[in-house]
Structure 1
């Protein structure tokens, strides 16, 4: 279903990827059109947050990018909107977000005013959807529709949230003209109940049969079920985003996964200083676990000088702290590789790498950075195992700083974890406050953010 929405991969080579990236950078660095509404904007905008997008099997298949700053766009004039869009595009290009899109897609927000911006023509049309936002003082017109048609003729695709396009910005006579040209319609579950239900009451699913739907801010598994089980809607929803993925669901007693329990026991032995033979004996009871562990460790993304072939070699080459770090990956992949577990693993990897990098930027020592990595990796263990965090961590003897951050949201690692979570939740005010607390510049946080996302992807792809 997702493939039919986004199309197949083009199989472009590296040279073509570099060429496209340069074209986008050139276009985005061109001077913005002069306007009488000069807004005092920075050279590049503030923090960029990413919203992972999931398919029906809850696998990560794309990202929605939001650039946040103190600018109140909804109160801005048309000229200010144009300036903001240009700076937003520059920010995304300067961060080289296209590194993330080899096998995934991006939703990039622009205003309807920017449909005339030449920068859009340089974006890879097979990988980017432009999410249109309305400008209050410049309603949708026949000119807007004509510009959309021009872009669509060149292969570009569009998304929008219907609830934002009320009669102030979209004349009723043009509603069908606009919505029938949109490839992806957005339903935000964080809105009031009547707003969420409105598209169904207005029979939008039937009125625009060519469009697919993206459900944003799904807060629970129940909301997810509404999208995937409601008659008539299940085949139309193709993208999902929200806290539903990390929600802890009750699990019946006796249903704990045997492989996960074995991994936790191995981790306990490792922390307790057990002999190599005792640890190796546990792996011999489940040879698949050892195979998976060595696959992760020997991933090219880790840059080891030679391949590790046994637990003894792993301990000698990596040390107990690093081996313990990689064992956490087995908790997410020890059982059947369902989409949800893999998505939780990718998010945990992102948090771990992101926090470790921020720790290095902040001047923390090597052991503290290792423990920051562990904090990120364990931060979703409760969601994975469907138990309270205290129960999930009880078999392990974690360092006090790691346990305090995970269980009590306190201590020296807590701000790093809070910053990683805030970036995922698009909490702009919280991101700014935490970055200032940690004395980190927006540009450094943005780079660490994208680098961590790319690294998490590479670990998963290279270990398959």
Structure 2
């Protein structure tokens, strides 16, 4: 059954608004904690995110994985690096104490979605998950704090507004931020481009019209930090170039203008300084790479690079706090990119829509994939490769 299921990704934020993990589960069509499907998910992650001598591809990235009791006695437990995972159980799950203890000994953290569990198992739990939409949330929170083991964390789901996140953060709670990605920016958030983004945008417009490198260098000199970040990003993921990129002229000669443009698009999104920007930036990076990798199945390299830009720019309106139409008045983009960003239309729109659908519990990934004649296997492989790429990027 898992061969026809699509992965769903959701970031987990700590009280400091830092992305500390991503939850991966199956989208609608399977209950995430069902034994067979949770085992299949674990085996998929072991296959896609562990490569021989390269080891675990997520670097120090953490994953949250909803599982059922059978997961603890499956091969996935031996195949996955326990320290990289938080396994979440539904309350009432018939888990064997020795199986839970063995998972903890292997480095896995285990959280309970709910509060009711055998008291003998409570010391083995690393945390609890609560429903932020529950009418008795305050009572649940009080109970969770009373029964949790020292150091155990509490996370809250279904938080749909940044002001509610702030309340949770003030109480020391982690928050699953999937619904916050599409939420309006906080009222106090800065609007429009900051000085660094203005410089980056000027560079992008120059690169877009193939301006002389000396003209680019003149703009780049206005902000030394931009050069540092740009070269760090490029060098962190590697291109088999045999040498480290140390100057703009070197970058142009080794990569070309189109590849430089995609890196500047990443730099533009990650230059946001708003307090709410961390989850949006991480999502934009994964979305950009995911959309690009989807394009590799069907489109020429140049179009795939444009898909990276489409994914990166798809959250600029949220990051900048202004409508997408206003964003597009400040940057020179092709009609195909503009159609994708405003209407999810044109040649690039369906790829972007598919990547976005994999971030939403109610997303129609099956329909989006069918429209592009892509299988769940292809989409999931691209999704995990994009996540690994983003985790290895030195932000």
TM-score relative to the length of structure 1: 0.73
Describe the SS at the equivalent of 2:392.
helix
Which residue in the other structure is 1:375 paired with?
A: 310
**Pairwise CA distance, 1:371:** 1.3
Instruction: Verify: 1:443 aligned to 2:394, yes or no.
Output: no
Counterpart pick for 1:108 among 65, 76, 99: 65
* CA drift at 1:178: 4.8
Do the aligned residues in 2 keep the contact of 1:301 with 1:455 (CA within 8 Å)?
no
Aligned partner (choices 7, 10, 18) of residue 59 of structure 1: 18
Superposed displacement of residue 341, structure 1: 4.3
**1:213 is matched with which residue?**
154
The alpha-carbon deviation at position 421 of structure 1 amounts to 1.4
- Among 82, 94, 114, which residue is 1:162 paired with? 114
Report the counterpart of residue 342 of structure 2 in structure 1.
Answer: 407
Aligned-pair distance for 1:213?
Answer: 0.5
Partner SS state of residue 425, structure 1: coil
- Between the two proteins, the alignment pairs up a number of residues equal to 389
Question: For residue 287 of structure 2, what is the aligned residue in structure 1?
Answer: 351
Secondary structure of 1:107's counterpart equals strand
Question: Alignment partner for residue 225 of structure 1, among 136, 156, 166?
Answer: 166
Aligned-partner Cα distance in 2 for 1:333–1:48: 25
Partner of 2:126: 183
1:203 aligns with 2:136: no
Within the alignment, does 1:131 sit opposite 2:88 as a pair?
yes
**What runs of 5+ residues in structure 1 fail to find an aligned partner?**
1-40, 75-80
CA distance in 2, matches of 1:66, 1:254: 34
CA distance in 2, matches of 1:280, 1:222: 42
Q: Is the 8 A contact 2:49 2:388 kept in 1?
A: no
Q: TM-score, normalised by structure 2?
A: 0.84
Q: 1:125 to 1:400 in 2, by over 3 A?
A: same
Q: For the pair shown, which has the larger CA radius of gyration, 1 or 2? A: 1
Question: CA-atom RMSD, angstroms?
Answer: 3.2
User: Residue 201 of structure 2 aligns to a residue in which SS?
Assistant: helix
Closer, same or farther in 2 for the Cα pair 1:316/1:456, shift >3 Å? Answer: same
Rate the CA distance shift 1:106–1:367 in 2: closer, same or farther, 3 A.
closer
Q: Please list the CA deviations of residues 368-404 of structure 1 after superposition, one character each: whole Å capped at 9, or x if unmatched.
A: 2121111011112122222222222321110111111
Deviation at 1:361, TM superposition (A): 0.4
Q: How does 1:267-286 map to 2 (within 5 A)?
A: 267-286=204-223
Cα gap change, 1:454/1:226 in structure 2, threshold over 3 Å: closer, same or farther?
A: same
Aligned to 2:357: 422
Higher relative contact order (CA 8 A, sep 6+): 2
Residue 194 of structure 1 aligns to a residue whose secondary structure is coil
